[in-house]
Amino acid sequence: MVNVKVGETVPTGKFATVYYTPELENHSACGVPSKLTTDAWKGKKVVIFAVPGAFTPSCHANHLPPYVAKYDELKAKGVDVVAVLSNNDPFVLSGWTRVQNVGDKIVALTDINTEWSKALGLSVDLSGLGIGLGERTTRYAIVLDDLKIKYLGVEEDPSQVTVSGVDAVLAAL
């Protein structure tokens, strides 16, 4: 059950990330995880799209690539930060974004233990699929302006990319 709505301030969240550096390009380095919180987004316009898992079919083929392709359009609409969020560990997310040639455009955030998504009411239990996915972030997109929710698109079916996709977010901006 979604616990937040447009107009509300998001709860404080804590994340891990491996920030992109050119040293990661040859794939022999793993990087060093850093921590950040939602406090880093005070006074900023932020687009976050959440995926159930890196390297999973819809996330890998249909969700992340269009955000990369339309990154400049998001920036032209005043977006300061674009982030992809998942409960995958920061090393997996770093590897995934490197495979996808994201560079430093999109920050890959680990939703540690899915805590932030749970606080938003936006987690999903995928253990019933029988392939080891367990508790995950559901598929959603959220636009924040100074930590206030301006857009929230939650997929009814987390295998689909519609209201959480970049075109829906661009239309909302």
The answer to whether 151 and 6 have CB atoms below 8 angstroms apart is yes
Confirm if 87 and 117 have CB atoms less than 8 A apart.
yes
d(CA 150, CA 101): 29
List, in sequence order, every beta strand (DSSP E) within the chain.
14-17, 34-37, 45-50, 81-86, 107-111, 123-125, 135-137, 140-145, 148-154
- Quick check: helix, strand or coil at residue 98? helix
Q: Which residue has the tokens 């959440």?
A: 50
Catalytic residue among 59, 79, 82, 166: 59
Residue 159 phi/psi, 5-degree rounding, is: -85, -10
Q: Give the side-chain half-sphere CA count within 13 A for 11.
A: 14
Annotated active-site residue 59? The verdict is yes
Catalytic sites, residue numbers: 59
